[in-house]
Amino acid sequence: MSRRPQVRDDLRELVGYHSPQVTVDVRLNTNEAPGPPPAAFGEAVAAAARDLDWHRYPDRGATELRRAIGRLYGGLGPERVFCANGSNEVLQTVLLTFAGPGRRTLTFEPTYALHAHLGRITGSEPVAVDRDPGFTIDPVAAAEAVRRVEPAITFLCSPNNPTGMVEPDETIEAVLDAVTEVGGLLVVDEAYGEFAPRSAVELLDDDRPLVVTKTYSKTWAMAAARLGYLLGPAWLVEKLELVVLPYHLDALKQAAGLAALGFVDEMNARVASIVEERGRIEAALGELGAEVWPSGANFVLFRPPTDGATVWQQLVDRSVLVRNTASWEHLDGCLRVTVGTAEENGRFLSALADILGAAAPLR
C-alpha cells in the first residue's frame, strides 16, 4: 500500500479546472480585456510600489480600497464591500462561510463551472438544474427549484458565462424571493456586469440575502493583478472575516486597485468600444450562418453551421484561438469567442469566413 498522503475522499474523482492555452497570434479564449490599462496607471502603481512600507503587513481590512470601490456604487460604505484575490477567491470565501459540509449549492446550467467546482472543494453538495433549451431561466421553475433543493447558496451569473445572456430583473427577483424563504443566500456573479445594460446592484439591501460579485479582471483590464470584490449587506461582509486568511490582500494589490479607480473615464471608453465590437461580431456571425446568442458580456457564444470542434481546429490552424466549448454538456457544437481589438476580431471573422467558404464579412 502506498505510504503517500491521499487526497480527501471527496476530491478523488474531481478534475481540476483548466483553460487550455495554445500559442497563436490571436488569443480570444479567456475573456480578458484586449489591451492593458492606460500607461499612467502603470506609473501610478510603480510610484505606489516605491513608497510602500514593504517591511510592514498591509492594511488588513483594505479599508481605503473598499471605501473607494463603495463610492463607485452610490456611496456604499466600506463595511458593505469585501475584496479578495480575484472574484474566484471572493466566491470561495462566500462558500467557506455559508456553505460547506451538509449544505447544498444550486446552479442553473450551463453556467460558470467554478460555481459548482468551488462548491465541491469547499465540501458542499452542488445541485445543478438545467436552463431552458434557449439557455434562459424560467423564473417560476427556478423559484420552485430553490424551494425544493433548499440550497445554502444559489448562484446566478449575469451576464452568464458561457452564454453571455443577461438575466431579466424578473428572474433575479423571483429567485431572490425563494432564496429568502428558504433562508439561503443568492450570489449574482457580475464578472461581466459592466458590459451589460442591467445590474443586480440596485437590489442590494441590508434586509436581503443578496450579494453581487465583481472583478478587476475584465472591465479594468487587470487580470494579472488578481483582484475581485463583493457588494452586500454589512452583516454578511463581516462574517466573511471568519474564514479569510489574515493579510490575504497584499499592499501592492490594494494600491493597484485604488490606482485603477483614477481611470474611470478610460474604463468606460474601453467598455463602450468592446460593446461596439461585440455588435459587429454578433452581426457578422449571423451573416456567416452561425447560431448566435445575444451577449451582454465581452464574449459571444455561437454555433457554426458546420461541426464546432472541427471549426475550432481550423481556426487554430489559422492562428486564432477561441474557447472550444463544442463538447461541453448543453453546448453541443458551440464555440465562445472573446471580443478582442478591432484587428483581432477582423482576423477571427476572416478566418471563419475562409473556413466556411464564405466571403469575409464586410463590416
Ligand X SMILES: Cc1ncc(COP(=O)(O)O)c(C=O)c1O
Minimum gap (Å) between residue 215 Cβ and ligand X: 3
Minimum gap (Å) between residue 189 Cβ and ligand X: 5
Minimum gap (Å) between residue 258 Cβ and ligand X: 17
Q: Which of residues 335 and 351 has its CB atom nearest to ligand X in the complex?
A: 335
Q: Which of residues 218 and 314 has its CB atom nearest to ligand X in the complex?
A: 218
Q: In sequence order, which ranges of the chain are alpha helices (DSSP H)?
A: 39-51, 63-72, 87-98, 113-121, 139-149, 169-181, 234-240, 251-260, 264-287, 308-317, 342-356
Minimum gap (Å) between residue 191 Cβ and ligand X: 4
Minimum gap (Å) between residue 84 Cβ and ligand X: 9
Grid coordinates given for 27: 488569443
Q: Which of residues 156 and 290 has its CB atom nearest to ligand X in the complex?
A: 156
Q: Which of residues 164 and 209 has its CB atom nearest to ligand X in the complex?
A: 164
**Angle in degrees, CA 69, 75, 81, rounded to 5:** 45
> What is d(CA 119, CA 251) in angstroms, rounded to the nearest whole number?
29
Residue nearest to ligand X (CB): 86
Q: Which of residues 223 and 360 has its CB atom nearest to ligand X in the complex?
A: 223
Other CB atoms within 10 A of residue 92 CB? 21
Measuring CA to CA, how many Å separate 297 from each of 51, 60, 146, 186, 294? 37, 33, 26, 21, 9
Q: Which of residues 189 and 282 has its CB atom nearest to ligand X in the complex?
A: 189
Q: Which residues bind ligand X (CB under 6 A)?
A: 31, 86-88, 112, 157, 161, 189, 191, 215, 217, 223, 228
Terminal-to-terminal C-alpha distance of the chain? 64
Paired strand residues for 155: 187
Q: Strands 125-130 and 104-109: what pairing?
A: parallel
Minimum gap (Å) between residue 27 Cβ and ligand X: 14
Residue with grid cell 470561495, as numbered in its chain: 92
Minimum gap (Å) between residue 229 Cβ and ligand X: 9
List, in order, residues 6 or more apart from 236 with CB less than 8 Å away: 185, 209, 211
Q: Which of residues 110 and 346 has its CB atom nearest to ligand X in the complex?
A: 110
> What is d(CA 331, CA 135) in angstroms, rounded to the nearest whole number?
10
> What is d(CA 166, CA 192) in angstroms, rounded to the nearest whole number?
10
